[in-house]
Each structure stands twice: as C-alpha cells, then as structure tokens.
Amino acid sequence: MNAAAPTSPRQRRMHDDNGRVLLKAFTREELRDWLVQELDEKPFRADQLWSWLYIRLASSFDEMTDLSKPFRARLEERARVDALTLNSEHLAADGTRKLTWRLDQGGVIESVIIPTEDRVTLCISSQLGCAINCQFCLTAQMGLRGHLSTAEIVDQVVQARRLYGQERRITNIVFMGMGEPLHNADNVIPATRILTERKGLDLSARRVTLSTSGLIPEIERLGRETNVRLAVSLNATTNEIRDWIMPINRRYPLERLMETLERFPLKKGERITFEYVMLEGVNDSLDDARRILRLTAKIPCKINLIPFNPHPGTTFRSSAPETIEAFRAFLRAKHVNVTVRETRGDDRMAACGQLGTPGDKRPKRLDPPEPLRAQFPQGTLRLDDR
Ligand code: SF4
C-alpha cells in the first residue's frame, strides 16, 4: 500500500503572516526544491538544513554553524525555524506533562507528553478547537477556530523533543489532541511524512497513530497516502446514539463507516484501534458490547475502553468501574483484543477529552434520543445551524 501520492498544496499554509516561509511545513523534497528554485542553492544544502531542523533540533539560524553566514542571513530574511511559541507547561503528579503553545494568528493549542515504562507518547493537536461537536468532548465546546499548518503540527514534536529529549526520547505520536485531524488532512498528511522521515525525526509509522471521528473520504485518502496507524472514535453501537453524541454520524453512519474500515489497507498483524469512551447509561450495556462484536467482526482491530473524564459543565458521567470491567470481560470472553485505558494527568486537565479551555463560548447541545431526554435535558441544535 501507500505509494505516496502528492498532497494538494491548495489548503496548506506555507508562510507566516509576514510572508516568511515556515520551514517545517516542507517535506524533505519540498525543502530541497525551495532551496534550489527560490534561493539558488545546491541540493545538498537541504540535507544540512534538514539535519539542523530535525536531528539537532536547532531553534535559530545562528546555531547552524556549518552553513555560510550569507546563506544564514538569507534564510533569516526569508524563512522561520519555529512556528510555535511555548506558552505554558504543567507537570501532573503522575509525570504527564501538558504543554500549551501560542499561535501567531492568536489562540493557544495543547500537546501532552505521557510517559510510561516502555514508551513516551506525545499527544498532538491538529486544529484550534474542533467543528465535529462530539457531545462529551471539551474541545468541541470551543467550536473550530482554525486549522493548524503542517509546520505548527510538526513543531509540537520538534519543540517537545528539544525540551524533554534529554530526559527520555519521545517514541510515539498520537493525533488525539485538539481537533479532528482528518478535517485538516491537507496539513496533517504532509506532517506525517515529516515525522516519519528516516533522516530526521525518524518516528516509525507504526508508532504514529491518527484518531478520527469517522470522515470516510479522508480515511480512504489516509490509507492511500500514508502508512500511519488508524484509530477510530466509535463510542456508540447504534446510529440513534451515535447521531446524538457524535453528529458526524448523520453524514457518515455506522454501516458505511464499517464498510470503509473493512477495506482500509492493513499489513499483516496491523489492526485498527476503536476508541470507546464509556458513558454511564448511554453506551455501556452488554447489548452495546454484543453490537461491537457484530460491527467489528470483519475488521482486524483492538478495542480501547476509555473511562470518561468529566469536565466542567458536562452532564455525562463515566460508567462505573464494575460496568467497565463487565464490558471488558464480555468482549475478552469473545476473544476480542480489548484494553481499558488508564486515566493520566487529571490534576492538570491533561487527560483525553480534556484539551480545551473551560468557560469558552459553547456551541449548543444536541437533543438526546427520546428515552434519554429525562437523563440529559439539553438544548437543541440542528446540524444545518452550525
Ligand atoms: S472528540 Fe475529537 S472529533 Fe470529537 S469534538 Fe472532540 S476533538 Fe473533535
């Protein structure tokens, strides 16, 4: 699979507001072409510059001492090394570290470093806010305020490595921070190529996972154009419930989503991960577990059950530990590869689904299906209104 097809440059942001080129927006080939065509440099200069950006993790042109001074001066004039400015960092008691970054155009995005015994995972953002309006998600309450450029996506990894690479190397990347990555595929797909470039950040494609709410055309594109791992936020087993808690389901219902995933190109031994946020009284019955079996029967997969992390203003509650355990045990007895995600970093709002700023202006809530209205008395929102 995965002959790397060119990505349309139409929606990619390659410059900052002052017209300077964002170097981390370029794939390796694009960087070489830019240096040759725009700066009249020899192709080998691209290798030197690439190495400074992604191996030596330089933060300025001044550090790039094997480049001639005139070349550095021209780069300084025309280009930018970093695309993000560190805004804050918070360390949770369990070692989880939340980093926030200021964007040039205004707004703050977030990344989270999650160390475990055998890996260090960096969770990165792909948008400022999100348009998908999943009802249980804090980021959704911001609405969509902008797409990140490829450079802003890649720079979360570069700067996190620069800050903490001495302690432990970041080994895994998950696109599970703010935003729906496939809603910003034109910037995200080139970013995955940069992250997995051997002579650079050198992350294995097996260790880069992109999580989607289920945008079918872009899932197909991801399969054609990259080798990275796919995770899908499932979170419901009927269209009725998924239409409510993940309104993207009204456009791409469960049957079509599963058909698409059955065709998703996987190598031997690879699996799609289904994430399933456990919401009390909404999606946590054993009937739901049975339906998961049916829905995923033809898809090599693993299921990741996620206890819900409550945030201010939410009416959802996490399923009780014994409910989650019964759900897990049922699936395991049917030979499903199922895990329960450990909750990390709660004391500083760095757990999954907690990226965003509580208190932001909130989109309206969707009406739940009739049987759940008493439990969730919320406002209404027609999709067309968004
Ligand atoms: S769960 Fe993901 S896709 Fe859904 S609103 Fe939140 S950030 Fe967007």
**Residue 277: CATH number of its domain:** 3.20.20.70
The answer to whether the beta carbons of residues 195 and 157 sit under 8 Å apart is yes
- List the residue whose alpha carbon is closest to atom 4 of ligand 1: 134
332 shares its domain with 314: yes
Tens-place pLDDT, residues 195-205: 999 999 999 99
User: 281: phi > 0 → left, psi -120 to 50 → alpha, else beta; which?
Assistant: left
Per-residue pLDDT at 382 exceeds 90: no
Q: Which amino acid is at 132?
A: I
Distance from Cα 132 to the centre of ligand 1, integer Å: 6
Rounded distance between C-alpha atoms, residue 34 and residue 26, angstroms: 9
121 - beta bridge partners? 114, 172
Single out the catalytic residue among 110, 180, 218, 275: 110
Q: Which amino acid is at 311?
A: H
Alpha carbons within 13 angstroms on the beta-carbon side of residue 164 total: 22
Give per-residue pLDDT as tens, 233-252. Answer: 999 999 999 999 999 999 99
Helix ranges (H only) for 18-97 are: 28-39, 44-54, 69-78
301 assigned to active site: no
Is residue 17, in this structure, part of any structural domain at all?
no
- What gap in Å lies between CA 225 and CA 193, rounded to an integer? 9
Tens digits of residue pLDDT in 133-186: 999 998 888 899 999 999 999 999 999 999 997 778 999 999 999 999 999 999
Q: Is residue 212 part of a domain?
A: yes
Let me know if residue 4 belongs to a domain.
Answer: no
Is the same domain home to 115 and 151? yes
Q: Are residues 66 and 93 in the same domain?
A: no
Establish if 12 belongs to a structural domain: no
Distance 225 CA to ligand 1 centre (A): 23
Rounded to the nearest integer, the mean pLDDT of the chain is 90
H runs (alpha helix) in 185-231:
185-195, 216-225
176: CA distance to ligand 1 center in Å? Answer: 9
Q: Are residues 209 and 275 in the same domain?
A: yes
Confidence of residue 355 (pLDDT cuts 50, 70, 90): low
Same domain, residue pair 35 and 121: no
In-domain check, residue 302: yes
Considering the domain architecture, whether residues 214 and 127 belong to the same structural domain is answered as: yes
Residues with CB under 6 A from ligand 1: 130, 132-134, 137, 139-140, 179-180, 213, 233
Whether residues 135 and 245 share a domain: the answer is yes
Based on the fold, state whether residues 96 and 194 are members of the same structural domain: yes
Q: What is the DSSP letter of 94?
A: T
pTM above 0.95, yes or no: no
* Residue 16 is assigned to a structural domain of this protein: no
162 and 253 together in one domain? yes
Which tokens belong to 211? Answer: 């999580």
Tell whether 204 and 332 lie within a shared domain.
yes
Tell me what pLDDT residue 168 has.
87
Do 69 and 134 share a domain, yes or no?
Answer: no
Q: Among this protein's residues, is 197 annotated catalytic?
A: no
| Comparison of pLDDT for 155 and 314, the residue scoring more | 155
pLDDT of res. 346: 62
**Are 199 and 300 found together in one domain?**
yes
Domain count, the chain: 2
| Domain extent at residue 108 | 85-385
Task: Please tell me which residue, 376 or 51, carries the higher pLDDT value.
Answer: 51
- Cα angle value 191/193/199 (rounded, 5°): 115
Residues 106 and 109: their CA atoms lie apart, in Å, by: 10
242 by DSSP, 3-state: which?
helix
Residue 71: inside a domain: yes
Q: Quote the CA–CA distance of 328 and 337 in Å, as a whole number.
A: 9
